[in-house]
């Protein structure tokens, strides 16, 4: 198992855990746990493979990824009630998965397209999509619309990996830099509320008032 | 026309009808009917073909599927007011489409990947995605988050088909078993409220209370 | 740069601007602007390329599209507060992007599949998806569910282009006809509230009352 494989399994497993935690917050049944775990765990990588022209996608070629999602969902189903704050755990696991996936997505995008810009986007997309799908399907407020930094952390991870690779760092070092950057930025956002100053002038009015 | 083709047209047509019924509940115009019918009818199969690497997808190769969706939308547009409970009809048609698609998706996944696990997932995905897209776009509460069994019924259909195929049943028998299983499970859920016991311990708190 | 390339850049740029305007209405940070601009600008074309089997998709082959989205997001970030009604501007830019994309999508669909029906659908899909994703992700009410004509305008543009092409019009003329048709229909809907008579009989009841 290569380093990128390990990152990939780690990303799938922790994202699957966040999906199962969202299911537990919504008090779904066991199949709901498995479904949300699988969608969250594989969603980002599926879109990454599709836009890069790598179909059949990764979990069709290697179904063991699906087995990982099912296993994680079962473990969360029997242990989630032990956790003091499931939403806080969800956020931190999400940060780990996002960090792993920002590098995985960037590495695959760079390898296939050769373009650093594309690598940044596939890294960001892979890291963010699982969480977006989870929040949409489970009716949680989207991580994207929360005030703290999220997309920027994914971009930092992808950017760190791409920059390190371009200046000749070996794969292990570049990956470590990318994962660490993404996790530190997102961790700071969760722990200390790091945020860019938002766009302030004035909030949007409801469409009815405008038309 | 083979058996699988017939199942496929049936799945597209009844899912298209559920999309058009959702449009009638939201009082959209005729183009809204056609749009929701087409998205609901072809959504699941489109994702199935994409992840399996079968692009261009089925309705690009055979545009007659789109004609079916348009025809169904027109029929529903002029007849929906005759129906006593459109939501109840929507649920039952959705059950028929879901049963047909769980087998179609599993059959295509098994044929292309050779993996039973992948076949379960493509069956479940094909069967559920049309309804998810319909509910998201029309603002109905998602069938996934309702308490009765849904995803499990799709999984039963795909599982019945795959199991029967693996022990050597001919295609017709395996398909019949799968469709019947999925429809019975979902029908019981609609008629008698069948449900797994949900995950109970305690509901999730709003993110603001946790952070 | 060919005519279709120009239409494509125009479509990406104005859709990106609508995404950034939605971000400004929601008071997101600069990365939120870039993210919504990129998703809105490239979403429709990405799905179009995927269903037509043209992966890697357009922005992987030509990353400059992404640079356009980032540039547009930055411009909107520093200028959006100058606009009297950002929602009105969003609607008009959306109309321009929709018109350009209805023709682009139809042209690519016709070239690859040879089927006019498929071309209508890829035109409609490419034109509508960016806006749907923008509205879903930013929590705005979907353009699709608003009473005025939207999908029909995209269909007019795709239909005008396909019809003109089938009777032998050169590409420039067919494109101009399609773009003009789509923009006039949508513009009339925004300015004068053009709408089909909606489906009237009675609104849908909440699912709880029906079951």
Evaluate the CA torsion angle C169, C172, C175, C177 in order and state its sign.
negative
CA A52 to chain B, closest CA, distance in angstroms equals 12
The answer to the question of residue B208 being in a domain is: no
The Cα A209–Cα B173 span in angstroms is 59
pLDDT for A199 equals 61
Say how far residue C80 (Cα) sits from the centre of its chain.
20
The Cα A88–Cα B117 span in angstroms is 32
A128, A203, A211 member nearest C25 (Cβ): A203
The answer to the question of residue A207 being in a domain is: no
Q: Is A200 in CB contact (< 8 Å) with chain C?
A: yes
User: DSSP readout, C53-109?
Assistant: T-PSPHHHH-THHHHHHHHHHHHHHHHGGG-S-HHHHHHHHHHHHHHHHHHHHHHHH
A205–C87 CB contact, under 8 Å: yes
pLDDT digits (tens, 9 = 90+) for A87-107: 778 788 888 889 999 999 999
Instruction: Give the domain extent around B18.
Output: 3-197
pLDDT for A3 equals 75
Q: Residue B170 in 3-state DSSP?
A: coil
User: DSSP readout, B83-99?
Assistant: -S-HHHHHHHHHHHHHH
Supply the mean pLDDT for chain A.
85
Three-state secondary structure readout of C193-205 = CCCCCCCCCCCCC
Q: Tens-digit pLDDT profile for chain B (211 aa)?
A: 677 788 788 889 989 998 998 888 888 888 888 888 999 999 989 999 999 998 789 999 899 999 999 999 999 998 877 776 677 887 888 888 899 999 999 999 999 999 999 999 999 988 988 888 888 888 777 776 666 678 889 999 999 999 999 999 999 999 999 999 999 999 988 888 777 666 666 666 666 565 5
Chain C: residue whose CA lies nearest to B47: C51
- Give exposure, A74-84, as e/b (b: 16+ Cβ within 10 Å): ebbbeebeeee
Single out the residue of A104, A154, A165 nearest to residue A132, CA to CA.
A154
Single out the residue of B119, B93, B116 nearest to residue B11, CA to CA.
B93
Is pLDDT of C179 > 90? yes
C113 vs B contacts (CB less than 8 Å): 56, 60-61, 63
pLDDT digits (tens, 9 = 90+) for C63-76: 999 999 999 999 99
Chains that touch C (3 or more CB pairs under 8 A): A, B
pLDDT digits (tens, 9 = 90+) for C116-167: 999 999 999 888 888 888 888 887 777 766 666 788 899 999 999 999 999 9
User: Based on the number of CB atoms within 10 Å of its own CB, is C25 exposed (0-12), middle (13-18) or buried (19 or more)?
Assistant: buried
Which of B:119-138 have CB within 8 Å of A? 121, 124, 128, 132, 136
The Cα A12–Cα A21 span in angstroms is 14
B31–C121 CB contact, under 8 Å: no
Instruction: Give chain C's domain count.
Output: 1
Q: Which H or E run contains B11?
A: helix B3-25
A115 vs C contacts (CB less than 8 Å): 60, 63
The Cα C78–Cα B183 span in angstroms is 56
pLDDT for C26 equals 81
User: Based on the number of CB atoms within 10 Å of its own CB, is B147 exposed (0-12), middle (13-18) or buried (19 or more)?
Assistant: middle
- Which residues have C-beta within 8 Å of that of residue B160, sequence separation ≥ 6? B174, B177, B178, B180, B181, B182
pLDDT for B24 equals 86
B vs C: CB pairs below 8 A: 104
CA C189 to chain B, closest CA, distance in angstroms equals 13
B29–C113 CB contact, under 8 Å: no
The answer to the question of residue A59 being in a domain is: yes
The answer to the question of residue B115 being in a domain is: yes
Question: Are the C-beta atoms of residues C105 and C44 closer than 8 Å to each other?
Answer: yes
Counting DSSP H helices and E strands in chain A, the numbers are: 9, 0
The Cα C206–Cα B25 span in angstroms is 10
The answer to the question of residue C208 being in a domain is: no
CA B117 to chain A, closest CA, distance in angstroms equals 6
Is pLDDT of C12 > 80? yes
- Give exposure, C85-122, as e/b (b: 16+ Cβ within 10 Å): ebbebbbbbbbbbbbbbbbbbbbbbbebbebbbbbbbb
Chains that touch B (3 or more CB pairs under 8 A): A, C
The answer to the question of residue B80 being in a domain is: yes
Which of A:9-68 have CB within 8 Å of C? 50-53, 55
In order of A204, C18, C19, C32, C165, the CA distances from C138 in angstroms are 11, 11, 9, 10, 37
Q: What is the CA radius of gyration of chain B?
A: 17
Instruction: List, for chain A, all residue ranges whose pLDDT scores fall below the cut of 50.
Output: none
Is pLDDT of C207 > 80? no
Question: What is the ipTM, given to two decimal places?
Answer: 0.84
pLDDT for C133 equals 85
Residue C203, sorted as left (phi over 0), alpha (psi -120 to 50) or beta, turns out to be beta
Peptide bond into B207 cis (omega under 30): no
- Which residues have C-beta within 8 Å of that of residue A194, sequence separation ≥ 6? A148, A149, A185, A188
pLDDT for C16 equals 93
The answer to the question of residue A206 being in a domain is: no
pLDDT for C68 equals 93
The Cα C109–Cα B204 span in angstroms is 46
The answer to the question of residue C23 being in a domain is: yes
End-to-end Cα spacing for chain A: 58
In order of B101, B112, B137, C76, the CA distances from B169 in angstroms are 19, 19, 39, 61
Instruction: Report DSSP state, residue A148.
Output: S
Say how far residue B142 (Cα) sits from the centre of its chain.
13
């Amino acid at each position: 198992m290569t380093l990128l494989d390990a990152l990939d399994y780690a990303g799938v497993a922790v994202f699957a855990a966040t999906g199962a935690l969202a299911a537990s917050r919504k008090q779904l049944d066991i199949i709901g746990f498995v479904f949300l775990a699988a969608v969250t765990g594989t969603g980002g990588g599926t879109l990454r493979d599709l836009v890069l022209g790598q179909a059949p996608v990764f979990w069709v070629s290697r179904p063991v990824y699906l087995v990982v999602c099912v296993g994680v969902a079962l473990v969360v189903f029997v242990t989630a009630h032990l956790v003091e704050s499931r939403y806080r755990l969800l956020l931190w696991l999400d940060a780990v998965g996002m960090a792993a996936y920002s590098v995985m997505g960037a590495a695959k995008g760079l390898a296939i397209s050769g373009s650093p810009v594309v690598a940044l986007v596939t890294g960001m997309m892979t890291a963010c999509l699982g969480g977006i799908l989870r929040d949409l399907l489970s009716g949680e407020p989207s991580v994207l619309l929360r005030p703290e930094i999220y997309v920027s952390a994914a971009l930092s991870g992808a950017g760190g990996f791409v920059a390190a690779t371009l200046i000749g760092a070996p794969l292990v070092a570049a990956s470590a830099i990318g994962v660490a950057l993404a996790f530190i930025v997102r961790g700071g956002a969760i722990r200390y509320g790091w945020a860019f100053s938002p766009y302030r002038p004035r909030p949007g009015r409801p469409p009815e008032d405008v038309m």
